[in-house]
Chains A and B, each alone.
Chain A
């Protein structure tokens, strides 16, 4: 069976933030991702060339080309690419694609089946559309940053770019839904993805209970899933490492109490006040008596909802992440055998594989141009005039 998205051609002009994560997933699922960069990013500076820094192995499962969208010829080539494409993704500031003449309305005229996704921080409309920002800003608006941190302390920035990834996944879901729809109607549509929207919905479990009833406001470090209860928390162990507990279900909580020799807490799982403080204290002291891995041996397979807090340099040795292909060893053209994070997608008949690597800027420009009918002479001329790169 071919890969799930084989035959789907995606022109990706969303170079940073959520765009790469979206096209990365769709590429892993089999789509033909063509990253359309500026014709000369080296001259203009900026982050594109960082992707091809020689210290890194490049990008998997995609192709890339350079194209000057500001030139007439570049615009024409883009339109020719659009004729053969299924999806266009862009991540410029709202309004820029219009100025470049590659906005949805222009593209739709050429190919009405195109699914066109704009990825931005705040969306294509509303009072904040023109504001610039980064991940930390979107999670601020969404309430997620305000909820993250120790009770009574200052907000703590999560260790990965949650807004970018949530936005990227939101775009992927929207794009695929629009493609499924196109299968029935023959028509594409426009997707207006806002990272802030995506993170707000991700935080809905914390926001909805409040805005339905306007009762207690959830506070940082003090919700059921962020530290209010002793049995859903993080504890330090003897070796200075940490362990996480998520024993929400009474029967799992009971298992945990038995294994920790504190059966007396079993009836008091949801108690507040003194009993809760006492439980916190017992757990804190208890976990300090053995190393993290000793605790894991005792608790792991015993239905207690426990996991080791792994440091980034420990992940590659975790037997489960290896078994699931989340840490994979693959061949890279410039770096030889490398380890990398695999794909979350496990479809039975469309297994993930690293099909290729983009290791240089403009690596596939000629190949892509030939596919849409350009001969070597014309390609050479366009390259000389810096329309393509």
Chain B
């Protein structure tokens, strides 16, 4: 069976943030992702450059350089758009209109195109022109305000959670629009706002307040963020941490027994004094052994227990290796390297590293040849600085 998204051609002009994560996923799933950059290196931002300067490159995509500001470059882009299924752009709202590559223009060329704009706050609304990064979207969504120690200041999550929510939103929207196109023959415009996406991710905290009012949720004080001793993080003897999450009474009972704290079994949801007592019991108990000693005792005993890993420990985890989340692959220049694999496990469309891209514009000539440009016209475009190879 071919890969799930084989034959789907995506023109991606995003490079960083949610666009990059989105096209990584769709590329892993088999789409032909063509990442289009500017021809002039100095006009490419510092972050995209890091991809090739500091890291071994990108998997499962192709790259080309194209000057969208030149008339001839725009024409090449239209030819590409005519053969594509999806277009992704991550400029500030309004820029694609100025460049002449906005949805209305492209739709006139190819009515089947699924055109996706990814932005901080969306293509409309009062914040559409405001610039921002992950931490800002987290702030507006309410997630940052509920993350942090009790009574303390907000803490920024250790991964770019909002960008990823935006990426997932874009992937889902693009695929849904492709499904819709199967029936209608028409593409549509997908307006992804990272802030919208992370706000919906926080809906589990927001909705109960909107429905029932009362006290809004507070930092480290909800059921899933530290209100209870049995859903929490504890330090162990060697300074490493463990997490427990025994929401279910039967799992909580297992944990209490294994920790010699049977007396707490009837008091799982108690507040006040008993809860304080349980907190100090767990805190003291977990300090008596190292994290890995606790792993041996609790991991396979239905206790919702895990070690809290540092980043340099992940690559040795047996589960992550078994699930190919730690992926070894051959790099054309650097030899065997490790990288994070793909979350997507489709039985008949396994994710593989199909190629490794090591520079901007690597596939420009090949991509143009596929849409009918002969070598003379490719050379001419190269000579005029409209494309980079």
Contact = CB atoms under 8 A, between A and B. Distances in A.
B224 A234 contact: no
Contacts of B171: 169, 173, 176
B339 A307 contact: no
Contacts of B302: 131-132
A315 B144 CA distance: 12
Nearest to A164: B204
B73 interface: no
Given A212-B55, A320-B126, A146 B343 contact: no
A208 B186 contact: no
Nearest to A139: B243
B101 interface: no
Contacts of B378: none
A146 B191 contact: no
Given A191-B347, A193-B345, A176 B172 contact: yes
A374 interface: no
A113 interface: no
Contacts of A178: 4, 346, 349
Contacts of A320: 121, 125-127, 140, 195
A3 B184 CA distance: 11
B310 A165 contact: no
A47 to B, nearest CB: 9
Interface in A1-58: 1-8, 25-26, 29-30, 55-57
A305 B132 contact: yes
Given A246-B133, A344-B193, A350-B180, A310 B145 contact: yes
Given A160-B143, A320-B125, A349-B186, A141 B205 contact: no
A369 to B, nearest CB: 27
B136 A156 contact: no
A207 interface: yes
A348 B189 CA distance: 5
B233 A155 contact: yes
B238 to A, nearest CB: 14
Interface stretch (A68-76, A77-85, A220-228, A272-280): A220-228
Nearest to B241: A155
B60 interface: no
Contact of B134 (A203, A214, A225, A304): A225
Interface in B188-202: 188-193, 195-197, 199-202
Contact of B345 (A5, A191, A346): A191
A141 B186 contact: no
A127 B318 contact: yes
Contacts of A194: 323, 343, 345
A281 interface: no
Interface stretch (A182-190, A258-266, A354-362, A381-389): A182-190
Contacts of A165: 165, 201
Interface stretch (B61-69, B146-154, B270-278, B359-367): B146-154
A128 B164 CA distance: 25
A304 B131 contact: yes
A310 B359 CA distance: 41
B345 A136 contact: no
A180 B179 contact: yes
Contact of B220 (A156, A226, A252, A339): A156
A143 B310 contact: yes
Contacts of B199: 315, 321, 326, 341, 344
Interface in A335-357: 335, 338-350
A312 B384 CA distance: 54
Contacts of B175: 173, 176-177, 179-180
A318 B156 contact: no
Interface string B185-229: 010111111011101111111111111100011011010111000
Contact of B155 (A141, A156, A316): A156
Nearest to A177: B4
Q: Range of interface residues on chain B?
A: 35 or more
Q: Range of interface residues on chain A?
A: 35 or more
Contacts of A206: 158-159, 311
B245 interface: yes
A248 B160 CA distance: 14
A371 B207 CA distance: 33
B314 interface: yes
A210 B312 contact: yes
B245 A134 contact: yes
Contacts of B94: none
Contacts of A166: 164, 168
Contacts of A161: 204, 224
Contacts of B263: none
A119 B184 CA distance: 31
A202 B345 CA distance: 15
Given A181-B349, A202-B161, A29 B168 contact: no
A101 interface: no
A158 B206 contact: no
B353 interface: no
Nearest to B194: A344
B308 interface: yes
B239 to A, nearest CB: 10
B249 to A, nearest CB: 10
Given A160-B202, A306-B136, A312-B205, A220 B126 contact: no
A153 interface: yes
B241 A307 contact: no
Given A4-B179, A301-B129, A345-B190, 5 more contacts: A1-B186, A184-B2, A316-B210, A321-B140, A345-B169
Interface of B: 1-8, 25-26, 29-30, 45, 54-56, 121-122, 124-127, 129-149, 152-161, 164-165, 168-169, 171-173, 175-180, 182-184, 186, 188-193, 195-197, 199-212, 216-217, 219-220, 222, 224-226, 231-233, 235, 241-245, 247-248, 251, 299-300, 302-315, 317-320, 322-323, 325-326, 337-349
Q: List 3 A-B pairs, minimum CB-CB distance, nearest first.
A: A147-B158, A159-B146, A246-B133
6 contacts: A29-B176, A132-B302, A172-B168, A180-B182, A210-B312, A345-B190
